[in-house]
Structure 1
Amino acid sequence: MNKFAEDLVLEGDRLIEHQPAISDKALRINLNNNIYGTFAEIGAGQETVRHFFRAGGSSRTIAKAMSAYDKVFSDAIYSVEEDGRYVTESRLNKMLDYETRKLEDRLIREDNPSKTFFSYANTVATIDYAKKNKGHGWIGIKFQTEPDQAFSKIVLHIQFKETDSKLQQETLGILGVNLIYGAYYQNHNPKKLIHSLYDHLDKDQIEIDSINFSGPMFQDVDNRLMSLLLVKNDMTDAVMFGSDGLSKLPANVLYKQNILVLRGSFRPVTIVNMDMIQKSIDLFIRENNLSRQNTTVIFEITLSNLLAEGTLDEIDFLHRAELLCSLGQTVMISDFQEYYKLTEYLCKYTDQKIAMSMGVSSLLNIFQEKYYTNLTGGILEALGKLFRKNMMIYLYPMLNDDNQIIDSTNLKVDLPMKELYKFFKKHNQIIDITDYEEKHLGIFSHDVLRQLQENEEGWEQQLPAGISQMIKENELFGYQNK
């Protein structure tokens, strides 16, 4: 039997999962003679290791527990960060690497033939005195499940939601125990591990908005899928990952950046999608005198789009993500069905310019009152939030059934919304993309999807270079080689 097997209890003739108390989780770790490691916690007391000390038998588990609170001491131990900050992913990784090296240097393997070492660390900032910033932090564990095994690692970022520092400290301690326990007893099922991070916690207490798995225990784990699960499980509103497939912290990606977003299904991504975003970038930068270096482009997929057929098809999602990543794009998965919620989210992280690239049909939906019945101020409130800080829309035209090109000058919004539409148009917040390829206006992802699934000729030419080859080689989206 696996020495790190999960808890199961017999109920009648069925084995069911059991959610142990936090004290029981800590005690189980302590009583396992194969687990031994260090705790390095900065910013909220030694809240995680406290559970292990109180559980009993901690001398079997804890090699060292420390908190290098003084910045001079912290820098002397873990070195100085280039940006001078302390609550960063880079700082956490340096802490984990340093403590792991010290474990291996100081504990002779011959004297500990069955020990599996770990280093747990966190660097956090709890709520400030003015209660303006609720606090956040990085938490991670570097561990092994066999004595001669290379280390695996789990790193996550959290946002505190509670408004009391003591409560935040207690929450951090519980989360830390859940992470260590999950690393050892649920590493074979990362989806379950993610879900168990909230054992004995409420989602009103803490938000997890980034997570990455790495190392030999997680060779088959796709961190894009793990990021998606954070949104699906209501742990956060949005996640981001880069072209390398690793989860990115939205706050880091978006901070003080000019932002251009393209929302779509990207099933698959087409030459129209790429033309839209490129023409929008050119307009965005030229008309606002922006630096490309300080402008971030995001391809956004909403959870509602991924759930369009009622259930979440993880394989289908990974197909979309794989193609976008191959094009070097940054991808966001969000739970923002309405566009104004996306604008509100982006404004939390930047005070620079925000723009969206979209087609005519999407713009018409924005001016439909029926989508805002949940708001007290209705569509007026929604549009006020959407177009805040002079947010701009770059509009890609469409062909109607009569082969007439429809753009901002001749589209028809509902009569009650006509004056509002004219207002935003007059103030240059709705801008036409004019240098488009007319021959591409009839290309839609859903048509390409049907064509490739039915092996019709010509669908390859409707996709960016290299994408059709990836679809064929990997038989993505239901494509089957003849």
Structure 2
Amino acid sequence: MALKLKGDKEINQVLSSKDKALKVNLNKHTYGTFAEIGAGQETVRHFFRAGGASGTIAKAMSAYDKDFSDAIYGIEEDGRYVTENRLKKMLTYEIEVIEERLSRKTHPDKIFFSYANTVTTIDFVKKFKGHGWVGIKFQLDPLEDYSEIVLHVRFKETDAKLQQETLGILGVNLIYGAFYLNDKPKELLKSLYDNLHQIQLEIDMINFAGPRFSYVDNRLMSLLLVRNGMTNAVMFGPDGNNLLPAQQLYKANILALRGSFRPVTKVNMDMYKLAQQMFLNESKVKEENAKIIFEITLTNLSAEGEIDERDFLDRAELLCSLGQNVMITNFQEYYKLVEYFSEFTKERIALAMGVYSFVQIFDEKYYRNLSGGILEAFGKLFFKDLKVYLYPLKDERTGEIKTSENLKVHPRMKELYKFFKYNGKVIDIVDFNPEILEVFSRKVLDMIANGVHGWEEMLPKGIAETIKDERLFGYSRRKFLKK
């Protein structure tokens, strides 16, 4: 709902949870089931209390006992119940039940839905705050296939009752959004926090699927989660679908490469392949448990002001085409990234970076908000036995190749640098290709923008073709034909 003011400006008026539930209830077409596990029947409670629920709720249930749950939805191979796979089984099963038990002849105008959640709230000793999966499977026309929205939440409140109430409000927002904001996925995403605050919960993954969302790029939805302050980090895989960071990083050996990847160049891939080889050769690292991540910071994406969504998707398209996992974070400082990784694993963590980026780590201006300044930051950065694989830099003016042996940091930082260098924390990447050291993403972009030939040779195999075919980064064949 929006209110018009002078000057034709609009102010969004957030409906209460009761009003949202009532609007769904009064819609004579919506009819579905509610299946909630782990935190009471908090969502359906809103619909019962709003009034008119008999026209909306076909069934409400909560199979708390594991044997009952397994008998209904099947046994999970990993024995876990708070998982995405469990949620999807719940949604699919409940839709099948309503389709089986309600005749389309009797209900020709009904659009069916199933809402489900499987969560665990904060434990008794308040060590684990709780998390869960929430989703809805729904249709907007009796003859169309079902669309689906699935998301993962992490609770921040330290009281189980408060978490239950938060879950209930979130569920109402999701159901309302599915029926009334499905054509505006960005607004739907924001509306999940209606009548809630970000200090109450974090949404760190969401996927849209089905005919109503065929045009939605889930990678962009990931970006919006970070930009909207709903979470600090998101991941997506080579297929473009969003991944749950906690699930991907749990007890994993992690190698992260930060960059702009605008576009990804031969230097980026040379660094990646050589760092990966060094990482897998570490005695503490098992290949089957290693995760390689290409990370882009929100600061990098907004380096030229506002975030350009098209530009972001161009970068994502190329990294996905190379089969890479991509992470978008709100961690400008490296120590925050390492702290985040450390929430999920105690195994070896490594960072691959160029000399220029490494030297910037020793700039004190980035740590003025810390009471312990740069020493506190470096304590957080290296206390987990972190390794840095350092890719060389060729000085554009002198032609000198900079490595850990001859790079220059601020005079006050020399001794600090030496401490980490000579304790084996910083390792040079030595088998690099010297012929590509002068390749920079910004140079490639300038050549593409100005119709200058030769940029194709600076990129990994197949990337130039993708840029041309998809017209990424403003590529125009016409520019080059004029040359």
TM-score by length of 1: 0.97
Counterpart of 2:14 in structure 1 is: 19
Distance in 1 between the 2:186 and 2:23 partners?
22
Matching residue within 465, 470, 477 for 2:473: 477
| Alpha-carbon shift at residue 293 of structure 1 (Å) | 1.5
| Alpha-carbon shift at residue 423 of structure 1 (Å) | 1.0
CA contact (8 A) 2:285 2:348 kept: no
Per-residue CA deviations over 1:58-106 (Å, capped at 9, x if unaligned) read 1100000000000000001000111110000000000000000001000
Indicate how the Cα distance of structure 1 residues 289 and 378 shifts in structure 2: closer, same or farther if over 3 A, else same: closer
For structure 1, which segment, 253-262 or 289-298, has the greater mean C-alpha deviation from structure 2 after superposition?
289-298
- 2:208 is aligned with 1:213: yes
For structure 1, which segment, 7-16 or 298-307, has the greater mean C-alpha deviation from structure 2 after superposition?
7-16
- 2:313 is aligned with 1:318: yes
| Alpha-carbon shift at residue 13 of structure 1 (Å) | 8.6
- 2:389 is aligned with 1:394: yes
CA contact (8 A) 2:39 2:120 kept: yes
The residue identity in structure 2 corresponding to 1:405 is: I
CA contact (8 A) 2:84 2:133 kept: yes
| Alpha-carbon shift at residue 292 of structure 1 (Å) | 1.7
Distance in 2 between the 1:124 and 1:17 partners?
31
| Alpha-carbon shift at residue 11 of structure 1 (Å) | 5.0
- 2:255 is aligned with 1:260: yes
- 2:429 is aligned with 1:429: no
Distance in 2 between the 1:31 and 1:299 partners?
47
Matching residue within 453, 460, 473 for 1:457: 453
SS at match of 2:255: strand
Distance in 2 between the 1:13 and 1:259 partners?
52
Counterpart of 1:37 in structure 2 is: 32
| Alpha-carbon shift at residue 42 of structure 1 (Å) | 0.1
Matching residue within 370, 374, 377 for 1:375: 370
| Alpha-carbon shift at residue 387 of structure 1 (Å) | 1.0
Distance in 1 between the 2:347 and 2:139 partners?
44
The residue identity in structure 2 corresponding to 1:172 is: L
Distance in 2 between the 1:159 and 1:287 partners?
33
Matching residue within 279, 283, 289 for 1:284: 279
Counterpart of 2:407 in structure 1 is: 411
- 2:226 is aligned with 1:243: no
| Alpha-carbon shift at residue 258 of structure 1 (Å) | 0.3
| Gap runs ≥5 in structure 2 | 479-483
Counterpart of 1:3 in structure 2 is: none
Counterpart of 2:89 in structure 1 is: 94
Per-residue CA deviations over 1:316-346 (Å, capped at 9, x if unaligned) read 0000000000000000000000000000000
Matching residue within 180, 185, 188 for 1:190: 185
- 2:141 is aligned with 1:146: yes
Distance in 2 between the 1:474 and 1:12 partners?
43
SS at match of 2:251: coil
| Alpha-carbon shift at residue 287 of structure 1 (Å) | 3.0
SS at match of 1:288: coil
1:36-55 aligned at under 5 Å gives the runs: 36-55=31-50
Percentage identity across paired residues of the two chains? 62
Counterpart of 1:445 in structure 2 is: 441
1:127-146 aligned at under 5 Å gives the runs: 127-146=122-141
Distance in 1 between the 2:284 and 2:333 partners?
29
1:105-144 aligned at under 5 Å gives the runs: 105-144=100-139
Counterpart of 1:74 in structure 2 is: 69
Matching residue within 45, 53, 58 for 1:63: 58
Matching residue within 148, 153, 156 for 1:161: 156
SS at match of 1:156: strand
The residue identity in structure 2 corresponding to 1:91 is: R
Distance in 1 between the 2:379 and 2:2 partners?
53
Distance in 1 between the 2:135 and 2:217 partners?
18
Counterpart of 1:4 in structure 2 is: none
The residue identity in structure 2 corresponding to 1:304 is: T
Distance in 1 between the 2:75 and 2:458 partners?
50
Counterpart of 2:481 in structure 1 is: none
Distance in 1 between the 2:182 and 2:7 partners?
26
Per-residue CA deviations over 1:2-59 (Å, capped at 9, x if unaligned) read xxxxx34555695754321110100111111100000000000000000000001111
TM-score by length of 2: 0.97
SS at match of 2:477: coil
Aligned residues: 476
Per-residue CA deviations over 1:211-246 (Å, capped at 9, x if unaligned) read 000000000000000010000000000000000101
